[in-house]
Structure 1
Amino acid sequence: MPGREVMPSTIQRSDKHAQDLWSKTHDSAVKEYGEGQRSHRTAFAALKNEYEKVGDHWERKGKRGPSDKQAEGGRGTNRRTAGGVDANASKQHLMDVARKLDISGRSSMNKDELVKAIEKANNRATAKSRS
């Protein structure tokens, strides 16, 4: 099925480049691996290289590259993903994202706590947008 037809709502709410990137990567992965989770994971991996999830959509990162330990390790790695949060970003960048998402208590959080709080806020925003 074409990527545009199975595109997740968070990407539909993102800019055109994010949509095109996800869709083209998904369609290419379907040709290589067939329909299914692997094609979706491949498309998300490409997206996470250039974008990070902020609330209920994806925004371009300041710098391209892997977004978390799982993405750094590649396909065979079995680590927890940060759910689209750019966990490799600076603490200041994470503070800015947390401020944008109005996360309370952010000033006293360490980097790992910020990543978890942003991920949780993103999940809440996505659920709210879907309802």
Structure 2
Amino acid sequence: MPKTTKKGTAKQDELPSTLQRSPKKAQRTFAKAYDSAMDSYDDEQRANQTAWAAVKHSFEKVGDRWAAKEGGRKGPSDAQAAGGRDTHRETKGGVDANASKGHLMELAKKLGVSGRSTMKKKQLVDAIQKANGKKTAQARKKEK
């Protein structure tokens, strides 16, 4: 089922909940990439993977929604995204593992991650990923 309208805007009821709470650009990116991938591959799983990869290229997960990467930076968010389709590495759940440590510290502070000042970059990424998961679960609970 197409995720965009005839005008090219994203259909809200077809978007994952985290994207429904995100900027319109993130919604359009997902919807258009999904529709294009369905036209090319006719495989829902592959279309979903392609659409999420497109979102993660320009956006990062912050709490229960997606936000533009710092400074408008674009590119892969983690080792899995950098490797491509046949790569089997650990994904970071939308956290931009390639962001600066300073940026990760800001996100950790915003999300209320305790002990962040003593964490190494990898630990920060993991802590942010965990905090994002909690925020998303809370938001989904509210929706019900």
Residue 80 (1) aligns with residue 90 (2): yes
Paired AA for residue 41 in structure 1: Q
**1:16-55 aligned within 5 A:** 16-55=24-63
Partner SS for 1:83: coil
Matched, 1:120 2:130: yes
1:95 and 2:105 correspond: yes
Question: How far 1:35 sits from its partner (Å)?
Answer: 4.0
**Percent of aligned pairs sharing the same letter:** 56
Confirm whether residue 14 of structure 1 aligns to residue 46 of structure 2.
no
Separation in 2 of the partners of 1:89 and 1:32? Answer: 32
- Within 1, Cα distance between the matches of 2:2 and 2:18? 17
SS at match of 2:95: coil
Question: CA deviation digits over 1:25-51, x for unaligned, max 9?
Answer: 011111111242111110000000000
- In the alignment, the residues of structure 1 paired with residue 47 and residue 14 of structure 2 have an alpha-carbon distance, to the nearest angstrom, of 11
Q: Which has the bigger relative contact order, CA under 8 A and spacing at least 6?
A: 1
- Answer with 1 or 2: which has the greater Rg: 2
Corresponding pairs, count: 131
- Read off the aligned partner of 2:112 and give its amino acid letter: D
Structure 1 runs not aligned, ≥5 long: none
Q: Whole-Å Cα distance in 1 between the matches of residues 63 and 105 of structure 2? A: 14
Cα RMSD after superposing both structures: 0.9
Who is 1:2 aligned against? 2
- Normalising by structure 2, report the TM-score: 0.88
Letter matched to residue 73 of structure 1? G
Moved over 3 A (4+): none
Residue 6 of structure 1, CA deviation = 3.0
**Match of 1:58, SS?**
strand
TM-score (norm 1): 0.97
